[in-house]
Chain A
Amino acid sequence: MRLRRHFDQEDTTGIDLAPMLDFVMNLLIFFIITAVFTKEMSLDVNRPGAQSGPSSGKDTGSIVINIQPDGEVWVDQRTVDVRAVRANVERLHAIKPDWGVMVLADENAEAGLLVQVVDQVRQGGVENITFGTSTTK
């Protein structure tokens, strides 16, 4: 009998883990609920006048793309379709590989068109894109 009691006592030594498990489970549920797995998709652009630009070394020019308030896109002194921006950028990029692209949008132009133009430029192989805005006179 004594032996059995001794055995029982030894068997139940240690802390009761159940409350800790409850607590940890609650924490786990909290983190599962608050976790957001959707990765945001984005396009990187620079802004003119920033001090931390990568193009501070040598004096390079840039390919200028103008977006008019009515939705016209101008590349290299010609008005082009949005879908033709890529081809134009590829051509100009082949001539001037060091140059970045300056997308100069009128402040009343649509942001959707701007994103399309930036996307086209990136498809054309230029990653160094600066996004500037201009005011209508």
Chain B
Amino acid sequence: MLSKRHGSGEGEDHGIDLAPMLDFVLNLLIFFIITTSFVKEPGVSVDRAEAETVRMAEHGNILIAIRANGEIWMDRRQVDIRQIRPLVERLHIERPDDTVIVVADKAAKAGVLGKVMDEVKAGGIKEVAMGAAGAGGK
């Protein structure tokens, strides 16, 4: 009798009820799907200039890096300045809300930065910002 109760009571409707856990996990999943922004990393790190008045970019998620030697990196590849426009056009069609941040090294040339920003504008993304680092850990 004791073994029968054991068998029918706990053994056969086995395990915990997974439904509440599934609800919880689905909620987490939805949260992460919504907050994921899929930033296009440039693939190189540059020495950014510090600035006091930086703005947190809400959806600045295409990063173009300009290194001190003038190399331009975008989406983990080194690109030529003439390639930026078609690349930006393609990304703009895929995700029209994306904005671009051009991150220039401290020692990079301002002329290259200007040209890159012009190419991005020509590619259809009007919101272009200069990348900077927050000063004093702000």
- Closest Cβ neighbor of B53 among chain A residues: A122
Instruction: For the complex, give the distance between the alpha carbons of A52 and B124 in Å.
Output: 11
Interface size on A, residues (CB 8 A): 51
What is the interface of chain B, defined by CB distance below 8 A to chain A?
A: 8, 12-13, 15, 18-19, 21-22, 25-26, 28-29, 32-33, 35-39, 47-58, 60-61, 63, 66, 101, 104-115, 117-118, 121, 126, 128-134
A105/B114 in contact, CB under 8 A: yes
- Residues of B near A45 (CB, < 8 A) are 117, 128-130
Looking at A17, A18, A20, A111, the one whose CB has the most chain B CB atoms below 10 A away is A111
Beyond A31-B32, A109-B109, is A47–B117 a contact (Cβ under 8 Å)? Answer: yes
Instruction: For the complex, give the distance between the alpha carbons of A28 and B22 in Å.
Output: 11
- Residues of B near A131 (CB, < 8 A) are 114, 117, 130
Residue A59 lies at the interface, judged by CB distance under 8 Å to chain B? no
Q: Interface readout for A17-36 with B: 1 if CB under 8 Å, 0 if not? A: 11011001101100110111
- Residues of A near B37 (CB, < 8 A) are 36
Stretch at the interface among A6-14, A73-81, A91-99: A6-14
- Residues of B near A35 (CB, < 8 A) are 32, 35-36
A36/B131 in contact, CB under 8 A: no
Q: Which of B53, B128, B132, B133 contacts A47 (CB 8 A)?
A: B128
B134/A17 in contact, CB under 8 A: no
Extra contacts, 17 of them, besides A42-B54, A44-B130 (Cβ < 8 A), are A7-B8, A11-B12, A17-B22, A41-B57, A42-B129, A42-B132, A47-B118, A106-B111, A107-B111, A107-B112, A108-B111, A109-B110, A115-B49, A115-B50, A118-B51, A131-B130, A132-B114
- Residues of A near B115 (CB, < 8 A) are 133
Q: Could you tell me the distance in whole angstroms from the C-beta of A55 to the nearest C-beta in chain B? A: 14
A52/B126 in contact, CB under 8 A: yes
Beyond A21-B18, A112-B49, is A43–B132 a contact (Cβ under 8 Å)? Answer: yes
